[in-house]
Amino acid sequence: MRRFRAIVIAIAIFANLVVAIPTAKIDDDELADPEYRQSDVRNWYRWTGGLGMDEERFRELALGIMTGWRDAVRLVRAPFQPFFSLVHTNQQWGLFAVVGERKETVVIEVRRNGQWETLYRRLDPEHTWHDDQLKYRRIRGVWDGVKEEPKGTYKRLTVWLAKEIFTEQPDVDRVRVVLERSAMSLPWETVDPTVERRAERYHRRNEVMDDPEQEAR
Amino acid sequence: MMERLSRWWADWEAFWDEREHPLPVALVRIFLGLCFVYDFAHIWQLGLIEPLFVMAEAGGLSDGFMREDPVWLYRILPPTAWAGHLHHGILLLSAVTFTLGLFTRTSAVTLIAASATFSAIMPYSDRGIDSLARSALCILVFSPAGKTLSLDALIRTGSVFGDGRPEPMWARRLLIGQLVLMYFDAGISKTGITWWPMGHFSALYFALQDPAVAAYDYSSFIRKPFSFFMTQLGAAGTMVYQYTYPLVLLLLWWRRHPERAGRFGRLLVAWRVEYLWIGVGFLFHIILGFSMNLGIFPWAMMSLYPVWLTAGEWERILSFRRWSVAESGT
């Protein structure tokens, strides 16, 4: 038993260390996009002086190293991956690994008696409808970080929100859920007031309440 | 060479076979279990069982049934609302029995399986802390965490405190390893420029303005020079703290082998400098718990902290009772 335990622990420690080797999150589909991770690459370029390369070449090299490193680590992890996949865990602790200079908030607007009004905006004390639900970490995970083309889970969240609103507020006939993105700036920089509205989902009472699955699709 | 290797292996075996009273891991079981119970009861209280646990076909958010390779649970159960409620009920019930130490190992296995299934159903709602909790559960399931302060102990020995027999202490050591690995990896994963001098150590400043994770609106004062400086201090401190975290292991090793520590090392051991990292971590999580909207993250992290004290040290703290704890190694 003593020997068996020592062997199992040795393997477990090794497996966890291998899984802990950090790799940058690289989305292969986005590598061709010249804007992908551009802010980080530009900052590193400035800091290293570009290592004698022009910015484009430096970008190719940086992303190439990150992709190659990720593939190599993936290979070493392969024997242990089934266990980690089974229990849905890993040792990658990228907690706030990249904190960007843009912020995004979810906004819910409703049309009541022909007039649009804001029902919810995160951290706005005037518009707090169901704030406890929307800020709950497991729901926040659905709307925070939505990509340019929202996926199904986000779409279904907006349908569910619309259903909740239509059930609670009979005088509302339209619901609009949108993400408002704005830039943050350092204290000595000028604040850019531009707000970009994206990932907008629009729901009509008759469609959502009659056929909730239609909107989800 | 072979002789040295076999001596090293014998030391390795002996190290992982050392024993102590299971009090520290039992405390982790209780505190971590309470975080689970709170989290799953909170979902219920917020009315979020249906959106989070039920398949899209029955009004929930998950596409777990419509995927090419459906989540295993929905190969067995139909994608109905009651199946989602059943899943949530199993999670909550196993969290309660795990916390109480009733059928501890079975509860832990159920909790891992149900939580991993939830992660598969709703990957966007599964955060880092859920993954860490499952990692800790994988250790606790084989540990003697249910041997004291548990209903299992009451059933087996007639006392919730158990029979006080020393048990293998490898689980506490692995949980220490898990904490060190998590903090260090969190440090080296911080590749964003805002964590570094070139980005003016502005990561915390920006994070506190992010409506997704900030607990309050700090915009009225965060741009003031003093506030900005404090956030810079926080970001730089976080980096130093996380990068240097493995030193805790060295300090614990020197405590065990003072003869290898040297004069300076012995001084650090005598001053118990490892408590600097542990204390700062504790404070850091308390501040995070109130300033940011991170759910159970800070509290679940702290639920693992009982492993920093040996059973003997816990006995001195919980001195209302004689625990019959023999002094144990670090």
Per-residue pLDDT tens for B182-238?
999 999 989 888 999 999 999 999 999 999 999 999 999 999 999 999 999 999 999
**Which of residues 2 through 21 in chain A touch B, CB cutoff 8 A?**
2-3, 5-6, 9-10, 12-13, 16-17, 20
Of the given ranges (A11-15, A167-171, A210-214, B102-106), which has the lowest mean pLDDT?
A: A210-214
Instruction: Read off the pLDDT band of B87 (50, 70, 90).
Output: very high
One-character DSSP codes across B256-270: H-GGGTHHHHHHHHH
Instruction: Read off the pLDDT band of B147 (50, 70, 90).
Output: very high
Kindly indicate whether the ipTM for this predicted assembly is greater than 0.85, answering yes or no: yes
Q: Provide the pLDDT for residue A62.
A: 82
Instruction: Read off the pLDDT band of A9 (50, 70, 90).
Output: very high
Of the given ranges (A84-98, A109-123, B126-140), which has the lowest mean pLDDT?
A: A84-98
- Measured distance CA(A28)–CA(A151) in Å, rounded: 18
- Measured distance CA(B175)–CA(A81) in Å, rounded: 21
B63: nearest Cα among A209, A153, A191, A25: A153
What residue ranges in chain A does DSSP mark as E strands? 102-112, 115-121, 172-183, 195-204
B163: nearest Cα among B152, B172, B174, B179: B152
Q: Are residue A170 and residue A106 in the same domain, yes or no?
A: yes
Taking contacts as CB-CB distances below 8 angstroms, the residues of chain B near A123 are 211, 214, 216-217
Q: Are residue A14 and residue A80 in the same domain, yes or no?
A: yes
- Please say if the pLDDT value at position A216 is more than 70: no
| Contacting residues for B187 by C-beta, under 8 A, at least 6 apart | B238, B239, B241, B242, B243, B245
Q: Provide the pLDDT for residue B325.
A: 59
**Domain termination site, one of A54, A86, A118:** A86
Of the given ranges (A34-38, B285-289, B313-317), which has the lowest mean pLDDT?
A: A34-38
B29: nearest Cα among B307, B313, B326, B321: B307
Q: Provide the pLDDT for residue B324.
A: 62
One-character DSSP codes across B66-128: TSSS--THHHHS-S-HHHHHHHHHHHHHHHHHHHHTSSHHHHHHHHHHHHHHHHHH-GGG--H
**Quick one: DSSP state of residue B149?**
S
Tell me whether residue A142 is in a domain: yes
| Structural domain harbouring A40 | 2-86
Q: Are residue A206 and residue A116 in the same domain, yes or no?
A: yes
Instruction: Read off the pLDDT band of A215 (50, 70, 90).
Output: very low
Tell me whether residue A7 is in a domain: yes
B168: nearest Cα among B29, B15, B11: B15
Q: Are residue A81 and residue A153 in the same domain, yes or no?
A: no
Q: What is the mean pLDDT of chain B?
A: 93
Q: Are residue A80 and residue A129 in the same domain, yes or no?
A: no
Q: Provide the pLDDT for residue A217.
A: 46
Q: What is the mean pLDDT of chain A?
A: 88
- Measured distance CA(B151)–CA(B84) in Å, rounded: 29
Tell me whether residue A92 is in a domain: no
B202: nearest Cα among B178, B236, B248: B236
Q: Are residue A9 and residue A55 in the same domain, yes or no?
A: yes
Segment A190-198 mean pLDDT: 92
Q: Are residue A40 and residue A75 in the same domain, yes or no?
A: yes
How many domains, in total, are found in chain A? 2
| Closest chain A C-alpha to B82 CA, distance in angstroms | 18
Taking contacts as CB-CB distances below 8 angstroms, the residues of chain B near A103 are 206, 209-212
Nearest to B134 among A44, A88, A135 (CB): A88
**Which of residues 114 through 133 in chain A touch B, CB cutoff 8 A?**
122-125, 132-133
B152: nearest Cα among B113, B114, B108, B112: B108
Q: Are residue A53 and residue A78 in the same domain, yes or no?
A: yes
- Please say if the pLDDT value at position A213 is more than 60: no
Taking contacts as CB-CB distances below 8 angstroms, the residues of chain A near B207 are 96, 99
Segment A43-51 mean pLDDT: 78
Its pTM stands at 0.89
Q: Provide the pLDDT for residue B174.
A: 97
Distance from the Cα of residue A183 to its chain's centroid: 16
**Domain termination site, one of A36, A55, A86:** A86
Tell me whether residue A93 is in a domain: no
Tell me whether residue A94 is in a domain: no
Q: Are residue A144 and residue A56 in the same domain, yes or no?
A: no
Helix axes B128-140, B170-188, angle to 10 degrees: 160
Q: Provide the pLDDT for residue B322.
A: 64
**Locate tokens 């999580």: which residue?**
B285
Instruction: Read off the pLDDT band of B139 (50, 70, 90).
Output: very high
User: Mutate which of A45, A84, A95 to test chain B, going by most B C-beta atoms within 10 A?
Assistant: A95
Q: Are residue A106 and residue A212 in the same domain, yes or no?
A: yes
Q: Are residue A66 and residue A162 in the same domain, yes or no?
A: no
Q: Provide the pLDDT for residue A147.
A: 79
Instruction: Read off the pLDDT band of B327 (50, 70, 90).
Output: low
Paired tokens of A50: 């570009």
Nearest to B13 among A6, A152, A187 (CB): A6
Q: Are residue A69 and residue A111 in the same domain, yes or no?
A: no
- Please say if the pLDDT value at position B247 is more than 50: yes
Tell me whether residue A164 is in a domain: yes
| Contacting residues for B267 by C-beta, under 8 A, at least 6 apart | none
**Quick one: DSSP state of residue A118?**
E
User: Mutate which of A88, A128, A180 to test chain B, going by most B C-beta atoms within 10 A?
Assistant: A88
Tell me whether residue A116 is in a domain: yes
Per-residue pLDDT reduced to its tens digit, B29-61: 999 999 999 999 999 999 999 999 999 999 899
Tell me whether residue A96 is in a domain: no
